[in-house]
Structure formats: structure tokens, C-alpha cells
Amino acid sequence: MLKERRMVAEQVAAALFEAEAAIDAALTKTANLAGAMPAMRRQAGASALIGQDALEHASQALMALAEARRSIVETHKELSIVQGQIGLGAITMNGAGGMKPPPQAVHAERARMRGLRIAS
């Protein structure tokens, strides 16, 4: 039974890591787009009014992706709890990003992040 739980947990972990990577990639590409638009406007010698709506929409998309990232991080935290509940707490699941940070580093980062809020 433990073997089956571990196999299922590894499949869920792989899907989670893939989702995290996809959101990070989308964030990066959207940020690149938002950064490129004003530079290209200046390069073209166009008025600051040109493309303003497009820039605002790209910025809104960026904020939506940041919220999606927050949600996937919360999903990751909850799945870590589930991992312990099914008796796999001592097992480290590795993602595409490499090894999982040690628990003390995770706790320190959570404490540091508690006071931060998304600016709107």
C-alpha cells in the first residue's frame, strides 16, 4: 500500500511541478512583453498615448498570473500537508527545479513573507 501511495504522490508532484513551471514561464513571458512595449514605442518615436491600453491590459494579465502563482504555491503547501497525512512525510519529492529546500529554510521564508501583501 505504501508503494502505491508513493507512486500516486509522485504523479501528483510531477503535475504540480509542471503547473508551477508553466505559471512561472507565463509570468516571465508576460513581464517581458509588458517591458518591451514602452521600449518599442520609444524606439518607434510614437506618442506615450500609443499602446497605453495594451500596456494596462498586459499589466492586468501579469497581476492575474501573480495571483495564479500565489494559488499554486498555496496548493503546494496543502499538498505537503497531505503528504504527511498519507504517511509520506519523510519522502522528498523533487521537481524540475531541483531539490526541495530544507524545512527550516521553508519556515524562515514563510515567516519573512507573512507581512508582505500584493499591492494593487
* pLDDT tens readout for residues 65-79: 999 999 999 999 999
What is the C-alpha separation between 50 and 42, in angstroms, rounded? Answer: 10
Tell me, yes or no, whether 119 lies in a domain: no
Tell me, yes or no, whether 118 lies in a domain: no
Residue bearing cell 519556515: 107
The tens digit of pLDDT for each residue in 97-107 reads 444 555 565 56
What are the helix and strand counts (H, E) for the chain?
3, 0
Number of structural domains found in the chain:
1
Tell me, yes or no, whether 120 lies in a domain: no
pLDDT value of residue 98: 44
Tell me, yes or no, whether 66 lies in a domain: yes
Range of the domain at 82: 2-113
DSSP H or E segment with residue 41: helix 2-44
Contact (CB, 8 A) for 93 and 10:
yes
Helix (H, G, I), strand (E, B) or coil at 73: helix
